[in-house]
Structures are given as structure tokens and as C-alpha cells.
Structure 1
Amino acid sequence: MPELPDVEGFRKVLQSCAQGRVIRHVDVRDAGVLHGVSARRLRDALEGRRITRVERHGKWLLARTGGPTLALHFGMTGLLLCAHPDDAAEPHDRVLFTLARDRQLRYRDQRKLQGLWLADDASDVVRLLADQGPDALTVDREEFETALASHRGRVKAVLIDQSVLAGLGNLLADEILWRARLRPATPANALTGPERRRLYTQMRRTLRPAVTAGRVPPRPTWLTGHRDAPDPHCPRCGTALRRSRVGGRTTVWCPECQGEANGDGKEEGT
């Protein structure tokens, strides 16, 4: 599932492929990824428009034109790529934006759980993102700590709640909590001041290299590099990793580094 680092990578693709260029043609191959806009209206609104600025907020991308704004969300399987217009389209290429003779932006998505929106003006963009919290990459420490202290839910569930903090997903939350040595099921408002500060610091330290890699990298020294192993062990202490359900998501954690289960819910298979 694309998380903040993946979407930041898509932002760079969109910027390098399309920013400053005129959308010459919009080919909607599957209207099932359009939300609140028809294929015809999307074409009429965007063809002939120049993409002037590209932004990301959490898992959302915004392509601004000085008029309508194209908003993209990638769900679980979406991605964005720059191709040549003569390249054969893949079965899951849903919308193609031809920008020049040699440039075509493609929205590709297998499961079609999210897709594309069209915001007519700035107020529409505000309404579209109204339920999003501050971006995890740019949120300051005070705002981050205040958000955690005001929520009683389990800290893992709070971290992946986009209305609290935009951009974090399952892999990032597990990685950050492991680095911060905090149990995923600890109530967010029960964290101490030093724990909240440690969590913020580890979030920043995790996001920087992940954004550079364009993904949550499965490095040997990262939890992410071990979580899918047949017999996963903690890369820090060697303890067998546990799997639980927190916030409806499979959660991987180390009972030694992050403390034994205490209200963590049933482990999978029990």
C-alpha cells in the first residue's frame, strides 16, 4: 500500500513529467477511478490547461493548473508513471494524460480503491482535504505531541488515522514504534512527554531515508526488512517478533524491545 514515501515519489514523477506542460489529451480508459466527475467533464476541464504546481499532503497529490485542481489518491495498489505515448498501455492503466509528443502521465491501479477527483477551485481543495490531519513529514513537534495527547486510542491506531496525522500507513507506524521502543497498543494519551518526543524523533528519522528511497525500505537493520520472513526475529535484539491486530491492521512488534503484551489484544491464531 502506498504510504507517504511512495506518494512523495509519485509527486516527483508528476513534477518531472508534467509540471510546466500543457495537458494535450486526457484518455479515461476506466471511469471507475473517477469520483464526482465524469470522463467528459474531466477532459473538458483539463485539456489545454498547464500544470503549474504539484503538491502532496499525506497520501494525496494535487496537480494545480491555475484553475481546476486534479487530486489523486492511490489506495492500496495505485501508482503514477511517466511513459511515452507510443508505449502500449497496461491493463491497469486507468487514465492517461498526454503532455507532449514524448510524454504521457499514467495513473495505474489494479484494485481501484481510490482514484481521481477534480476540484474546481481552492475552496473545493480545502473541502476535499478537510478530514486530513497535518502532514507527517512537516508537522512540528508541538502539534504532533498535542495530537497524541488528545487521543485515547492505541498509539498505532492513532498514528495511521489520517485525520490525526496524514501520510503514515501500516509499515511506517510499525517501524517508527519499534524504533521508539513503544508498544503499539499503548493508549496514545498515556504516553509520557519523553515518550512522545522520542516517537516524534524516530518518525522524523524514519521518514527521511524512506522518502529518499521512495518506499519503506526493507533494510536488514529495519523492522521492515524482517517482518515478512518465515520466522521473523528482531534485528536489534534477536527476539522472535510478535503479530497482533491493532486498529484493524496486522501489527508486527518485538516483545523484548517494545515490552510484553499488556492489553495488546489477541495475537493472530489465538
Structure 2
Amino acid sequence: MPELPDVEGFRKVLVSCGQGRTIRRVDVRDAGVLHGTSGRRLRDALEGRRFTEPERHGKWLLAHTSGPTLLLHFGMTGRLLCARPDDAVEAHDRVLFTLSGDRQLRYRDQRKLRGLWLADDDAGLARVMGRQGPDALAVGRADFEAALSSRRGRIKTTLTDQSVLAGLGNLLADEILWRAGVHPRVRAGDLTDDERRRLYTHMRRTLRSAVTAGCVPPRDAWLTGHRDDPDPLCPRCGTHLRRTRLAGRGTVWCPRCQPDADGAGRGRNPP
């Protein structure tokens, strides 16, 4: 599933392929990815407009133009690619934006769980995006700690709640919790000051590394590199990893590096 690092990569694709270019043609090949708009309205609103500097907030990509803003959310399988107009079109290329300078942006999505929206102003952006917390890559330590301390839910669920903190998904949350030595079932409001500091530090480090890679990389030294193994072992201590579901999400953790939620061993640094 695309998370913050993937969407930041899509923002860079839009910058390099589309920023400053005029939208010559919009070809909607599958209107099932459009929300609150039609293919005709999308064409009328965007053809002849110019892409300006895009933004990313959490998992949302805001493709600003000289007119309305095109909002893209990538769900589980969405991607944004740069091509040339005469390149072969693939089955899951849902919307094509042919641009000046012989470029074409393509929204590709196999499962079509999210898609594209249009917004004319800030109020429209807010309606489409809903309540969003601060961006996980930009949030300051004080705001991060304040957001966690006011929540009563489990820390894994809190980290993936986009109204609390925007941009973290399942893989990132598990990775950050493992690095910080925090059990996913600990209640956010029960975290110690040291645990909150560790979470923030490891979130920043993990995001910087993942943004550079353009994804949450399945490296051998990362939890992500082992979570799908048949018999996964912790890359730090070699303990057998455990699995559960929290709020419907598959969750992986190390019982040695991440002490139980009952508080046993809490407050110490992970091995």
C-alpha cells in the first residue's frame, strides 16, 4: 500500500514530468476512479490549464493547477507515472494527462480503491480530504507528543489514524514501533516521556530513509524485510516475531524488543 514515502515519490514524478507544463488533453479510460466529478467535468476543468507546484500531505497528493486542484489518493495499488503519449497504454492506466513537451502523466491503479477528486478552493480541499492531522514528515516533536498524549487508543491504531498523524500506514507504524521498542498494544496516552521521545526520533529516521528509497524498503536490517517470511525472526535479536490484528490491520512485533503492553520491562531501551 502506498504510504508517505511512496506518495512523496509520486510528488517528485509530478514535479519532474508535469510542473509548469500545460495539460493538452485528459483521457479518462475508467471513470470508476473519479469521485464527485465526471470525465467531462474533469476535462473541462483541466484542459488548457498548467500544472503548478504540487504538495503532499500525508498520503494525499495535491496537484495544483492554474485553475482547480486535482487531488490524488493511491489506495492500495495506485501509482503515478511519467510516460510519452505514444508509449503503450497498460490495462490499469485509468486516467491519462497529455502535457506540453511530449509528456504524459498516468494514474495507474489495479484495485481502484481510491482515485481522483477536484477542488476549486481551500474549502473544497477540506471537504475532500476530511480531517487530517499534521504531516508525519513535517510535524515537530512538541506537536507529535501532544497528539499522542491526548489519545486513549492503542499506539499502533493511533499512529495509523490519519486524523491524528497523516502519512503513516501499516508498514511504517510497525517499523517505527519496533525500532523504538514500543509494543503496538500500549495505549498512546500511557506512553512514558522516554517512549514518546524514542518514537519521534525513530519516526523521523525511518521516514528519511524510506523517502530516499521511495518506499518502505524490505531491507534485511528492517522489520519490513522479514514480516512476510514463513517463520519470521527479529533482525535485531533473532527472536521469533509475533503477529496479530489491531483494528483490522495485520500487526507484527518482536516480543523481546517490544515489551508487553502490561508494562513489564517498559521504559527500557530496546536491545
Structure-2 residue corresponding to 1:268: none
Q: Within 2, Cα distance between the matches of 1:121 and 1:74? A: 22
SS of residue matched to 2:168: coil
CA offsets 1:20-67 (integer angstroms, 9 cap, x no match): 000000000000000000100000000000011110000000111132
Q: Within 2, Cα distance between the matches of 1:52 and 1:175? A: 34
Contact 1:67 1:121 in 2 (8 A): no
Contact 2:21 2:101 in 1 (8 A): no
- Please, what TM-score do these two structures have when normalized by structure 1? 0.95
SS of residue matched to 1:35: coil
Structure-1 residue corresponding to 2:39: 39
SS of residue matched to 1:219: coil
Q: Within 2, Cα distance between the matches of 1:209 and 1:261? A: 28
Report runs of 4+ in structure 1 exceeding 6 Å deviation. none
SS of residue matched to 1:53: coil
Q: Which amino acid aligns with 2:18?
A: A
2:198 maps to 1:192 = no
Structure-2 residue corresponding to 1:129: 129
Contact 2:98 2:105 in 1 (8 A): yes
Contact 1:255 1:261 in 2 (8 A): no
Q: Within 2, Cα distance between the matches of 1:84 and 1:51? A: 17
Structure-2 residue corresponding to 1:151: 151
Q: Within 1, Cα distance between the matches of 2:33 and 2:177? A: 34
Q: Identical aligned pairs, as a percentage?
A: 75
For 1:202-213, list aligned pairs within 5 A: 202-213=202-213
Q: Within 2, Cα distance between the matches of 1:88 and 1:57? A: 31
Q: Within 2, Cα distance between the matches of 1:196 and 1:99? A: 46
Contact 2:61 2:72 in 1 (8 A): yes
Q: Which amino acid aligns with 1:28?
A: V
Structure-1 residue corresponding to 2:247: 247
For structure 1, the residue ranges without an aligned partner over 5 or more in a row are 264-270
Contact 1:85 1:101 in 2 (8 A): no
CA RMSD of superposed structures (Å): 1.2
CA offsets 1:144-197 (integer angstroms, 9 cap, x no match): 111111111000000001111000000000000000000000000000111111
For structure 2, the residue ranges without an aligned partner over 5 or more in a row are 264-271
- Please, what TM-score do these two structures have when normalized by structure 2? 0.95
For 1:63-212, list aligned pairs within 5 A: 63-100=63-100, 102-212=102-212
CA offsets 1:115-143 (integer angstroms, 9 cap, x no match): 00000123212332341111000001111
SS of residue matched to 1:125: helix
Q: Which amino acid aligns with 1:85?
A: P
CA offsets 1:180-233 (integer angstroms, 9 cap, x no match): 000000000000111111100110010001000000011111111111111110
Q: Within 1, Cα distance between the matches of 2:122 and 2:49? A: 16
Structure-2 residue corresponding to 1:266: none
SS of residue matched to 1:70: strand
The alignment covers a number of residue pairs equal to 263
Q: Which amino acid aligns with 1:230?
A: P
